[in-house]
């Protein structure tokens, strides 16, 4: 799953993306990635539990979950009508699972703004309008077909009704994600504003600690989540060793990098969660969808694990840390044997038993 990064020109997208790409290259040293496409950035999802778990097993390495961001170039006014590289833009963004809007808040007289001045709320409106117009076109094209289908097949009535409701919401200037409408019957239309949104506000360093400003910006985009960062600082952080990076962060009043926040919030926005495995070779967070069953979780490691799934031995992270070792957790009765209907919980430390 991936998150598309969009934004108007000169808001700091390339600067941020440059940091994301460097992060991907750093991670690639540990992961057997095929090749990383030039327009893809990857960030590890910070999880303090992994380091603790690794000490129990003296693991050789730690592999966090990761989130993939795709640079979607070409969002300009009129993109929905094919302005700029509008059609390519729409095709690329359709393939992503969530949309991250980069919004300029920083002030810099040397960096011109396409619309003259820095105005986050207007920029959000400009981007949303393009996405809304694109969705309205998709719906307009689909409705005659849906009407025809609904005449002969009453099961198709729900899809037609949903499209008509969506059209009214979009006409009113609201994105489908923000509207709270049930999106189930719209899925087949792959509408852009039905994807989950998140916002990366690109601030000046001194604005990062401005709680009032952050609250005001958060309120504009709610219920979507907001991340606050300084893209210039992010591009410096990825070049620094950990201790120096932390020093730089603390000098601007932060304790977590913007990329880490973006990964954490992005992961949540995609509806994902992790479970953990640990051993001498590695301690690792595996990514699953919220609500995944034990065999589905096993399938993330290897499809054979899902096919041959027998059972899972599950210890919750807290129980394991309290016991101090897997053996101690077992004798304390904290190791549960779960079957194929078990729904995975956050913080499950798992060992799968399977037939091959
Ligand atoms: P893009 O067009 O959205 O990809 O924007 P760029 O990343 O190319 O940034 C445009 C200009 O703004 C560049 O000169 C950047 O150095 C500058 N810039 C980007 N982020 C920041 C920031 O957080 N603060 C300041 N002052 N300048 C920034």
In ligand 1, the atom with minimum distance to the C-alpha of 102 is 3
The tokens describing 247, both together, are 């020093």
Query: Per-residue b/e over 228-262, b at no fewer than 16 CB within 10 Å?
Result: bbbbbbbbebbeeeeeebbeebeeeebeebbbbbb
258 lines ligand 1 (CB under 6 A): no
In ligand 1, the atom with minimum distance to the C-alpha of 229 is 23
> Where does the pLDDT of residue 73 fall: very low under 50, low under 70, confident under 90, or very high at 90 and above?
confident
End-to-end CA separation in angstroms for the chain: 28
In ligand 1, the atom with minimum distance to the C-alpha of 8 is 3
Which residue, among 229, 232, 257, has the nearest Cα to 244 in the 3D structure?
A: 257
> Where does the pLDDT of residue 128 fall: very low under 50, low under 70, confident under 90, or very high at 90 and above?
very high
How far is the C-alpha of 167 from the C-alpha of 173, rounded, in Å? 10
Q: What is the mean pLDDT of the chain?
A: 92
311 lines ligand 1 (CB under 6 A): no
How far is the C-alpha of 186 from the C-alpha of 269, rounded, in Å? 19
Which residue, among 217, 174, 211, has the nearest Cα to 198 in the 3D structure?
A: 217
The pLDDT of residue 28: 74
> Where does the pLDDT of residue 154 fall: very low under 50, low under 70, confident under 90, or very high at 90 and above?
confident
The mean pLDDT value for 68-88 works out to: 77
Which residue, among 355, 356, 350, 347, has the nearest Cα to 297 in the 3D structure?
A: 350
Tokens 């087949």 — which residue? 188
> Where does the pLDDT of residue 200 fall: very low under 50, low under 70, confident under 90, or very high at 90 and above?
very high
Q: At CA 224, angle to CA 93 and CA 102, rounded to 5?
A: 50
Q: H-type helices in 29-85, by residue range?
A: 48-57
β-partners of residue 42 are 68
The tokens describing 237, both together, are 């952080």
The answer on pLDDT for 82 being more than 90 is: no
The protein residue with its alpha carbon nearest to ligand 1, atom 7, reads 12
pLDDT in tens, 278-305: 999 999 999 999 999 999 999 999 998 8
β-partners of residue 36 are none
The mean pLDDT value for 327-349 works out to: 96
The SS3 assignment for 352 reads: strand
Tokens 């993109």 — which residue? 79
The answer to whether the beta carbons of residues 177 and 194 sit under 8 Å apart is: yes
Domain ranges in the chain? 1-47+62-272, 291-354
The pLDDT of residue 85: 67
The protein residue with its alpha carbon nearest to ligand 1, atom 15, reads 12
The tokens describing 75, both together, are 């969002």
Domain 291-354: top CATH class: alpha beta
Cα of 15 to ligand 1 centre, how many Å?
6
Q: At CA 349, angle to CA 344 and CA 354, rounded to 5?
A: 75
> Where does the pLDDT of residue 118 fall: very low under 50, low under 70, confident under 90, or very high at 90 and above?
confident
1-47+62-272 maps to which CATH number?
Answer: 3.40.50.300
């Amino acid at each position: 799953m991936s998150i598309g990064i969009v934004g108007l020109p000169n808001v700091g997208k390339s600067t941020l993306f440059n940091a994301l790409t460097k992060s991907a290259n750093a991670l690639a040293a540990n992961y057997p990635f095929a090749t990383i496409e030039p327009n893809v950035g990857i960030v590890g999802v910070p999880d303090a539990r992994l380091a603790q778990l690794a000490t129990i097993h003296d693991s050789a390495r730690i592999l966090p979950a990761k989130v993939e961001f795709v640079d979607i170039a070409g969002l300009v006014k009129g993109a929905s009508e094919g302005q700029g590289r509008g059609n390519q833009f729409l095709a690329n963004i359709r393939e992503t699972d969530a949309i991250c809007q980069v919004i300029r808040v920083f002030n810099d007289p040397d960096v011109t703004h396409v619309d003259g001045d820095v105005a986050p709320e207007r920029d959000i409106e400009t981007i949303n309008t393009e996405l809304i117009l694109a969705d309205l076109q998709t719906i307009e094209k689909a409705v005659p077909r849906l009407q025809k289908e609904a005449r002969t097949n009453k099961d198709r009535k729900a899809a037609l009704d949903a499209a008509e409701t969506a059209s009214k919401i979009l006409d009113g200037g609201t994105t489908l994600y923000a509207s709270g409408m049930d999106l189930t019957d719209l899925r087949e239309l792959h509408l852009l504003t039905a994807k989950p949104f998140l916002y990366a506000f690109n601030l000046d360093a001194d604005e990062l600690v401005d709680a009032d400003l952050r609250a005001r910006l958060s309120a504009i985009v709610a219920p979507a989540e907001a991340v606050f960062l300084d893209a210039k600082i992010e591009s410096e952080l990825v070049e620094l060793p950990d201790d120096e990076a932390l020093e730089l962060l603390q000098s601007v009043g932060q304790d977590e990098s913007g990329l880490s926040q973006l990964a954490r919030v992005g992961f949540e926005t995609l509806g994902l969660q992790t479970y953990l495995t640990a051993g001498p070779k590695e301690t690792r967070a595996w990514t699953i969808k919220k609500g995944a069953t034990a065999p589905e979780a096993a399938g993330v490691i290897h499809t054979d694990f899902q096919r041959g799934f027998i059972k899972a031995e599950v210890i919750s992270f807290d129980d394991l840390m309290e016991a101090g070792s897997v053996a101690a957790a077992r004798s304390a009765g904290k190791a549960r044997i779960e079957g194929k209907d078990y729904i995975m919980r956050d913080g499950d430390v798992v060992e799968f038993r399977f037939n091959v």
